[in-house]
Structure 1
Amino acid sequence: MKHNHFKLLLQTLVVLLFVGGIYLFIKPEKQATKTPSSQQASSQKVVKNSKESTGLPKVSPKDWELILVNRDHMTEELSPELVDVNGVSVDKRIEQATADFLAAAQAIDPQEHLISGYRSVAYQAELYQSYIDQEMANDPSLTREAAEALVQTYSQPAGASEHQTGLAIDMSTVDSLNASDPQVAQAVQKIAPEYGFVLRFPDGKTKSTGVGYEDWHYRYVGKASARYMTKHRLTLEEYISALKEKQ
């Protein structure tokens, strides 16, 4: 009797062990489904970049108002259709925006006026050379290369100047670069996006633009782009790069 009871217990134990083994074998491994931290970080980065891209205005880097002209993106003569706004020539497509921006700037300081607008490639070549000659005359020890490097901090060679687009204007209370009242300059810079303009060469962005701070040089890029660039402190070079990454 005892022998039969012992045999029954042994059989029961064997069955339990067998069932338990099957459960452990087929039980899903939770750890295997956990996303690695590196993958999580990558996913978070993609989501962040996606949100930033989504926030970009619905414009194309190929749009006429976003043409990029600098020493790395030189162009031939563009020959835009020009109109006169208070004594300077601009692309006809920005006539009203320029006039409105000037009026708003003059409401801040009546001395605000347009200094320069469109320049042909030929005229820019003459102007650029005159600056080099002037720098060498002021300091005879300068080589042409040194004088040209100095000039490029405030003027660009023919083909690399935004003025040939007809979309750039120089506007200030005085006819000297960075000589305007800083408070007035900042106030004008603040309202510029409402008229589609941005300060093209902001302080601290020389590495991006290749040009030092200019308080008077404004570039038309359209209202949506101007507001976005100003909000995110982007140069045109940086903005174009962001738009291309989005495509």
Structure 2
Amino acid sequence: MQISKVLRYYGGLVKRKIKRMSRKRKQIIVVGTSCLVLGLVFGNIFGGIRQKKQAEKQIKKVTAQVQKEEQKKTKAVQKELEQLQQKQAEQEEELPWNMVLVNSSHPMTEGYVPELTEVADGYSVDSRIAEPLNNMLKAAEADGMNIIICSAYRSVEKQEQVFNSSVQDRLNTGMNYWEAYSDTAMSVALPGTSEHGLGLALDLISNQYSELDEKQAETKEAKWLEENCYKYGFILRYPPEKTAETGIIYEPWHYRYVGQEAAKEIMESGVTLEEYLEESY
């Protein structure tokens, strides 16, 4: 009996120790697992922060590179533009006064006013073309032509009045403003871009027909001018089917002085002043 009690006592003690050991192990496992989870969580958090910082750093680096490239491109474009402007200025300086191009992309020098000579009542031209113009009109008269000057030199202010008046005429027909403006620009140059401001251009019509339209080309005076103008240094500035080159519709009444040599080459070859100078409007 004594032996059995001893065995039971020690057996219970062993079981309790085993249970206590199991609880400790469980605690160790739980604590260890918790630490592991927390480690992973904080690791992810701090790792994420590091990754975010690295990403932000990379973004800043790429952004700086892009900005640097854009600055290079901008500088290159600016340099190219400056070179083109310088080239244009040099070309204009090299061109003689009678070959200066004025159109929508080649505006007049601001404030330019030529020395003028009156050639008809209320109409003046650059003094340097007064003589060849008078010679042409006298030759036409000798051939039985009756040519009338209906426009010559115009100041920028006068050109503005003409342009605005033409826009208003179109508005009165029912066009909206944009339609009226666009249509006007096809036949009337914007202020500062008209050859009339140079004093080198004239509108010449027949005394038998005063309208500025394509029917003017059917008059004997218009035909005479087209055939003989080059002899006196003038060209038909806006010939038919050349709107794509000049930006202006066919104007059988608009003549421009360029000098005899250039006028002969231009009229015989059938090109515009833009094409002759290898420029555009």
Task: Output the TM-score relative to the length of structure 1.
Answer: 0.69
1: CA distance, partners of 2:173 / 2:94: 41
1: CA distance, partners of 2:143 / 2:253: 15
Structure 2 counterpart of 1:111, which letter?
N
Q: Please state how far the C-alpha of 1:109 moved relative to its aligned partner.
A: 4.4
**Could you say which structure has the greater relative contact order, defined with CA pairs below 8 angstroms and 6 or more residues apart?**
1
Q: Please state how far the C-alpha of 1:145 moved relative to its aligned partner.
A: 1.5
Q: Which residue of 1 aligns with 2:79?
A: none
Q: Please state how far the C-alpha of 1:215 moved relative to its aligned partner.
A: 0.8
2: CA distance, partners of 1:108 / 1:118: 26
Q: Which residue of 1 aligns with 2:107?
A: 74
Q: Deviations over 1:28-64 (max 9, x none)?
A: xxxxxxxxxxxxxxxxxxxxxxxxxxxxxxxx96110
SS of 1:83's equivalent in the other structure is: strand
Rg bigger for which structure?
A: 2
Q: Which residue of 1 aligns with 2:134?
A: 99
Which structure is higher in helix share? 2
Q: Which residue of 1 aligns with 2:246?
A: 209
Q: Please state how far the C-alpha of 1:105 moved relative to its aligned partner.
A: 2.6
SS of 1:179's equivalent in the other structure is: helix
Q: Which residue of 2 aligns with 1:16?
A: none
Structure 2 counterpart of 1:200, which letter?
R
Task: Output the TM-score relative to the length of structure 2.
Answer: 0.61
Q: Please state how far the C-alpha of 1:193 moved relative to its aligned partner.
A: 0.3
2: CA distance, partners of 1:214 / 1:181: 8
2: CA distance, partners of 1:239 / 1:194: 18
> Does 1:154 find its partner at 2:187?
yes
Q: Please state how far the C-alpha of 1:175 moved relative to its aligned partner.
A: 2.5
| Aligned pair partner of 2:261 in 224, 237, 241 | 224
2: CA distance, partners of 1:107 / 1:114: 17
Matches within 5 A, 1:1-247: 62-75=95-108, 76-87=110-121, 88-139=123-174, 142-173=175-206, 174-177=209-212, 178-180=214-216, 182=218, 184=220, 185-241=222-278
Q: Deviations over 1:189-241 (max 9, x none)?
A: 11000000000000011110111111110000000000001111110000111
8 Å CA contact retained: 2:151, 2:202? yes
**Unmatched tracts of structure 1, length 5 or more:** 1-59, 243-247
After TM superposition, which residue ranges in structure 1, 4 or more long, deviate above 3 angstroms? 107-110
**Unmatched tracts of structure 2, length 5 or more:** 1-92
Structure 2 counterpart of 1:121, which letter?
V
Structure 1 counterpart of 2:134, which letter?
A
Q: Deviations over 1:85-117 (max 9, x none)?
A: 122100000010111112223334433111110
Structure 1 counterpart of 2:263, which letter?
A
8 Å CA contact retained: 1:77, 1:120? no
